[in-house]
C-alpha cells in the first residue's frame, strides 16, 4: 500500500475539519429530505477534500455524500485494475453539528480491489484522529488502539443508528428495545463514524446500523477491523461497504449474541 494515500487522506480530513469549525454558528440550513439536514459547511468541506484528493490522485474515483454515488457500478468495484475510489462524508453527524452538539466528524476511506484500504475519521472538536491502513493496525492519533475484550451482551455498552423520521412501529425501534433489554445500556450518539471508532478504541463494545450509507461507515469499518473487532452483516456474512447493514463488536462472541438479539 502506498503510504502517500494515508498522508494525503489525513491532510484532506484536516482541511475538511477546519472548514467545519469555521462555519459553526454562521451557516444556513435547508432540508435535503424530511428531518435530514444539509449545510453550506458540509458542501464546502467536501469540495475542499475532493480538491486535495483528486489533485494528488487525478485518476481516482470519488464518492461523496453530496455527489458521485450514482457513478459506481458493481463491475467497477470488482475490477482489481480499476483505480482506487475515495468514499467521503465531509460531515458525519449533521444534526449534532446544526444544534451545536460537539459530536461530529469528517470520514474518508479509500476502496480498491474489493477491499477498504485506508480509513480516517477526524473529530474537529476533540482533535482526535482515528486511522487505519489494511494490515497495519488501528490508531488514535499515533497511539495503537484495540477493541475491548467484552464477550457478554449483558456487560456491553452499545450504540445504534436510526433513520431520519423513524416510525414508532419500525423494526429499528424493535431492535433497539430488544438490545436495551439484554445489554448493559444502549446509546444513540448521532455519528456513525465516531460510533465505529469508539468500538475500535474500547469506549463502546458494539454498534449496529441498518440505515446508514457507505460514506458514513466505510472508514470506521476498516478501523474496527484493524483494531481486532468483528464487523459482519446482520445475517453474519462479510461486511459489505456498499450495503452497510451490520453489527460491529469488540469480539466474535459478542457479535453472535447481538445478532441473535436483533434478529
- Which residues does the annotation place in the binding site for Mg(2+)? 65, 89, 91-92, 216
**Is residue 35 a contact partner of residue 14, using CB atoms and an 8 Å limit?**
no
- Tell me how many degrees the CA angle 192-22-46 measures, rounded to the nearest 5: 50
**Measured distance CA(88)–CA(261) in Å, rounded:** 31
Q: Cell 446500523: give the residue.
A: 209
DSSP 134-177: TTS-EEETTEE--------GGG-EEEE---TT--TT-HHHHHHH
Q: Which helix (H) or strand (E) holds 53?
A: helix 40-56
Burial environment of residue 166 by CB neighbours within 10 A (0 to 12, 13 to 18, 19 or more)? middle
Q: Which residues are annotated as a binding site?
A: 65, 89, 91-92, 216
Amino acid at each position: 500500500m502506498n503510504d502517500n494515500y494515508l498522508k494525503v487522506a489525513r491532510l484532506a480530513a484536516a482541511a475538511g475539519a477546519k472548514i467545519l469549525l469555521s462555519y459553526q454558528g454562521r451557516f444556513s440550513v435547508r432540508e435535503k429530505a424530511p428531518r435530514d439536514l444539509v449545510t453550506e459547511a458540509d458542501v464546502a468541506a467536501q469540495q475542499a477534500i475532493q480538491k486535495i484528493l483528486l489533485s494528488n490522485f487525478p485518476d481516482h474515483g470519488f464518492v461523496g455524500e453530496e455527489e458521485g454515488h450514482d457513478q459506481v457500478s458493481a463491475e467497477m468495484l470488482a475490477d482489481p485494475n480499476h483505480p482506487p475510489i475515495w468514499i467521503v462524508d465531509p460531515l458525519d453527524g449533521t444534526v449534532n453539528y446544526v444544534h451545536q452538539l460537539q459530536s461530529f466528524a469528517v470520514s474518508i476511506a479509500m476502496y480498491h480491489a474489493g477491499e477498504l484500504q485506508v480509513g480516517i475519521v477526524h473529530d474537529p472538536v476533540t482533535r482526535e484522529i482515528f486511522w487505519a491502513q489494511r494490515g497495519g493496525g488501528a490508531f488514535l492519533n499515533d497511539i495503537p488502539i484495540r477493541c475491548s475484550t467484552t464477550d457478554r451482551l449483558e456487560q456491553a455498552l452499545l450504540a445504534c443508528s436510526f433513520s431520519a423520521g423513524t416510525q414508532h412501529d419500525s423494526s429499528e425501534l424493535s431492535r433497539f428495545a430488544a438490545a436495551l433489554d439484554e445489554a448493559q445500556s444502549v446509546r444513540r450518539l448521532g455519528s456513525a463514524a465516531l460510533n465505529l471508532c469508539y468500538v475500535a478504541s474500547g469506549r463502546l463494545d458494539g454498534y449496529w446500523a441498518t440505515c446508514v450509507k457507505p460514506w458514513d461507515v466505510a472508514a470506521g469499518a476498516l478501523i474496527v477491523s484493524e483494531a481486532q473487532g468483528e464487523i459482519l452483516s446482520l445475517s453474519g456474512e462479510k461486511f459489505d461497504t456498499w450495503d452497510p447493514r451490520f453489527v460491529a463488536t469488540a469480539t466474535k462472541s459478542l457479535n453472535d449474541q447481538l445478532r441473535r438479539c436483533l434478529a
